[in-house]
A and B are shown apart, each in its own frame.
Chain A
C-alpha cells in the first residue's frame, strides 16, 4: 500500500500515542564538566536510579587525614548528586573502600555527619584503589 501524506500522518499519530511510561528507561550520563575519560562515566542514570563511580580522596585538603579525606569524598558526591538531580538524602547504598582498618572509627564519625537522617545501607572493606588514597567510596541513589 502506498504511503500517502495522510496515512503517514495517521500512523505517526498512532505511534506518538503509545504511552511513554511503557517504554523501558534508557541509560543517561550526567557529568559536571567535559568528559575527562572515556573509561567510565561519573554518574549513570537509569529510570529513577543513579549509579555513581568510585571517588577517591587524593585531592582532599589533607590527603593524609582520614577525616579530611572522608569529608572531601562525600562533598564531591553531594555535588555530583545535585548535578544529576538527586541529593545526599536520596542515597540508598554506599560502599566504602578503606586502605587502613584503623581508620574506620574516624571515617564513621564524618560519614554520620553527612547522613544525619535515615543513613543509607553500607558496606566497608579494606582494599587498595587505582590511585591509592585513604578512602574511596561509590554509591547508588534514587532520584
Chain B
C-alpha cells in the first residue's frame, strides 16, 4: 500500500518574531484553507478599549490573511471571544462590514483570555 500523497502545510507569520513564536504559528495553510491563531487584545496599542482593540485586531487579521494569499472576504468562520459580554455591541459596531458583503459564519462566547485580554478573534478562511 502506498502512502497518501499529502500536501505539505505552510506555516506563516506577518511578524516571525512575534512574542509566542515557537509556541504556535499565526497562520497555517493546508490546501486552500488557512487557519489563523486567535489575535487577542494584549497585542493592541489600546488593549482595554474594545473599539480600538477590535479595529486593530481585525487589521492584523487582514494582514495575516493577505500574507497567506487570502483576504477578508474569503473568511468562512470566525469565533469571537469576549472577556465581558457587555462589550458585545461595541465590538459588533466595529466588526460589521469588515469582512465584505457576505459576512462569515460566526459564534461569540464569553471567555477568560491570555494576559487578561478583553477580546480575541479566531479566523478560518480559504485562499
Binding site for B on A (CB under 8 A): 24-25, 27, 29, 38-44, 46, 49, 51-54, 95, 97, 125, 127-130, 132, 136, 138, 140
Q: How far is the CB of B108 from chain A (nearest CB, A)?
A: 5
Q: Are B88 and A41 in contact (CB under 8 A)?
A: no
Which of B5-13, B46-54, B92-100 forms part of the interface with chain A? B92-100
Pick the contact of B106: A24, A40, A97 (CB < 8 A).
A40
A contacts with B: majority SS: strand
B77→A54 contact, CB < 8 A: no
In the bound assembly, the distance between CA atoms of A41 and B76 in angstroms comes to 9
Asked if B105 lies at the interface with its beta carbon under 8 angstroms from chain A, I say yes
Interface size of B by Cβ–Cβ distance < 8 Å? Answer: 25
Judge whether A138 and B107 touch: CB under 8 Å. yes
Q: Which 6 A-B pairs have the closest CB atoms?
A: A54-B107, A40-B106, A128-B110, A51-B105, A51-B77, A53-B105
* Residues on the A chain within 8 Å of B127, using CB: 24
Contacts of A125 in B (CB 8 A): 109
Cβ-defined contact, A38 with B103, below 8 A:
yes
Q: State whether A51 touches B104 (Cβ < 8 A).
A: yes
Docked complex Cα distance between A29 and B75 (Å):
12
- The contact sample of 17 A-B pairs, CB cut-off 8 A, is A27-B74, A39-B92, A39-B103, A40-B105, A40-B106, A41-B102, A51-B76, A52-B105, A95-B107, A97-B107, A97-B109, A127-B109, A128-B109, A129-B108, A129-B110, A136-B109, A138-B107
| Contact assessment for A44 and B110 in the assembled complex, using a CB-CB cutoff below 8 Å | no
Is B32 interfacial (CB-CB < 8 Å)? yes
Task: Give every chain A residue within 8 A of B88 (Cβ-Cβ).
Answer: 130
Interfacial residues of chain B within 75-125, with CB under 8 A of chain A in the complex: 76-78, 85, 88, 92, 95-97, 102-111, 124
Most B CB contacts (10 A, CB to CB) among A40, A41, A42 go to: A40
Contact of A24 among B32, B108, B111 (CB under 8 A): B32
Q: Given A25-B126, A128-B110, answer yes or no on A38-B97 (Cβ-Cβ < 8 Å).
A: yes
